[in-house]
Structure 1
């Protein structure tokens, strides 16, 4: 097959696909217009998230047999039209689930132990032990929203910390274990000290965490979001932090990740959020490790091989 790669990938993928007999065109800087002009000649596309796989583009891909998504999120892909066309979809959540889990845990520990604030102060010659007193994870109840690859991997990382783990997933059942208690949403809200979000972006999850939802938790919580920023808005985060509904937040994703495209309200709310010492940011890198960069290739190629070469 002829396969077009339109985003930056670990270079190992070219050799891996070539060994299976495929012809690979690697153009990570290709523009959408160039993709539209060239895609008809390709049997496969390997993508990250730069270019939406909408109906306009997919209609041009007349020979398309599969799309390989180097990552987990599928919100920029017209899934219904792919089913209609019979185009296969492979994604690589297993390739970066460990990275996401470790990042979520690392952010939580940094938040609990005032690591960012303390480091900044010490560099300025401020030695404030009491002002940087931390919290212990042991004894807390961690609620996991979404128990797919990422949520499950995160629960495993928590196993040695002496926490109680609860998980809610609307679309999964019978996943409970000795480590994780499967619960309904109301039960999770009644006991959690920490909420870690691991859901995809869908019409159902967009703005799911409203102020009303957060207010219905039985006690103030710490929030971790390594999933999709659109699940909770800047305005909701600020309101919840102002009202003490949230005790702090670890945010690897944002409602809008293009700073230059903030509307005035987003700009104002983000600037307020950025002043908070109990909020830790990172630029959507939870799944972006040196190891996951290569593991994603192995996951995708294995799926392509199983579908077309075995």
Structure 2
């Protein structure tokens, strides 16, 4: 059985933003020769030009996929976000165009968690101030204001994959852990859930944010609730730049109400290395600024490359859509002696009935079939008789609400 009905040397794959070579090698090892790699992100106009004939697109967090980009990509089957989030993709538009969107929600969890704990140590020991002084030739050996992690309280806002991992490591280092999450989450170890975010803020020595970037979390930390922090508390943000009002945070740091802060993410981040960067937190004492490196370890990039690369490969070759944010999850084993057809359509009543009636009335026998829907689209996988697959394709093009149709093999 051929892995795909379309010649592999005609399938165009574009990887941007220095995606791990392991993903590139996966496709090349399986016979895909048209794999292009670019080091940086592309702006909308450049991407519209580059994506016209692309079947698979791989990006990280800097490349933004808009409705205009998707309109320019009629052959695009799937987008792989080689990172945790998918907020850089217009998911509604991707669903309308029948484009499957994958990501790696767990692959860099450990890297981010370790950075949070490392930043915690440096903030409590006021390492950044001593480091800066030493580079200026000033000796600042002083125990005042320096503390151990052991016995301190770590407050987590958000207790998902990363927050819970931070919880486990923090407790292993002797910390007490409090957390708040909008959803009920089972505590790990001796961590304690709090009924309100304010309870976490008021009792913690270090507060670490682990929430998604949404309209509800924009300026989650603001001038009002910064006053609810204990005096001297440290704030760490390795989640999304928009969740903290940086002007308010700078004021709280300058007044001495907060003892320090670390930020790895910012509302506006440079497109590439070397570009100018500004934030209200620059120049403040005991503040650590890092350039969105939470998941930037070699181990994490390999894990992400393997995870998203495999999801794209399985979708391209078998129609497996598990992990997609736009196409309903389906995974069916190959069936010998058949051709497989993938049909993505608007989720409206009667589509499956129309498909079955059309094929039956024209003598096309369905050997296997599976339908899964979400609130936007439906995804049908059909295994049909080999001799009649082209006839089936012609018939299915006329089904109402058809978005995308592909003869897989």
Q: TM-score, normalised by structure 2?
A: 0.67
The total of aligned residue pairs comes to 302
Q: How much does 1:131 deviate? A: 6.0
Q: How does 1:143-158 map to 2 (within 5 A)?
A: 143-158=155-170
For each residue in 1:275-296, what CA deviation from the matched residue of structure 2 results, as whole angstroms up to 9, or x when unmatched? 2221111111121112222221
Q: How much does 1:261 deviate? A: 7.3
Q: Is the 8 A contact 1:211 1:236 kept in 2?
A: yes
Classify 1:217/1:301 alpha carbon distance in 2 versus 1 (closer, same or farther; 3 Å).
same
Name 1:176's counterpart in structure 2. 187
The more displaced of 119-128 and 56-65 is: 119-128
1:290 equivalent to 2:298? Answer: yes
Q: TM-score, normalised by structure 1?
A: 0.86
Q: Is the 8 A contact 2:206 2:234 kept in 1?
A: yes
Q: Per chain length, whose mean CA-contact separation is higher, i.e. which structure has more relative contact order (CA < 8 Å, sep 6+)?
A: 1
Q: How much does 1:87 deviate? A: 2.3
Q: Is the 8 A contact 1:6 1:30 kept in 2?
A: yes
Q: Is the 8 A contact 1:93 1:150 kept in 2?
A: no
Q: Is the 8 A contact 1:143 1:193 kept in 2?
A: yes
Name 2:265's counterpart in structure 1. 253
1:6 equivalent to 2:35? Answer: no
Q: What CA distance in whole angstroms lies between the structure 1 residues aligned with 2:255 and 2:132?
A: 26
The more displaced of 124-133 and 46-55 is: 124-133
For each residue in 1:84-127, what CA deviation from the matched residue of structure 2 results, as whole angstroms up to 9, or x when unmatched? 33322211232222111111111111111122222333455544
Q: What CA distance in whole angstroms lies between the structure 2 residues aligned with 1:139 and 1:124?
A: 33
The more displaced of 250-259 and 291-300 is: 250-259
Aligned partner of residue 46 in structure 1, secondary structure: strand
Higher Cα Rg: structure 1 or 2?
Answer: 2
Out of 23, 39, 47, the position equivalent to 1:28 is: 39
Unaligned runs of 5+ in 1: none
For each residue in 1:118-176, what CA deviation from the matched residue of structure 2 results, as whole angstroms up to 9, or x when unmatched? 23334555443336551111122111112222222222321321111122222x32332
Q: How does 1:131-210 map to 2 (within 5 A)?
A: 133-170=145-182, 172-184=183-195, 185-210=197-222
Classify 1:47/1:125 alpha carbon distance in 2 versus 1 (closer, same or farther; 3 Å).
closer
Aligned partner of residue 206 in structure 1, secondary structure: coil
Aligned partner of residue 274 in structure 1, secondary structure: coil
Classify 1:198/1:174 alpha carbon distance in 2 versus 1 (closer, same or farther; 3 Å).
closer
The more displaced of 149-158 and 15-24 is: 15-24
Q: Is the 8 A contact 1:20 1:309 kept in 2?
A: no
Classify 1:37/1:145 alpha carbon distance in 2 versus 1 (closer, same or farther; 3 Å).
same
Classify 1:78/1:130 alpha carbon distance in 2 versus 1 (closer, same or farther; 3 Å).
same
Q: How much does 1:211 deviate? A: 0.8
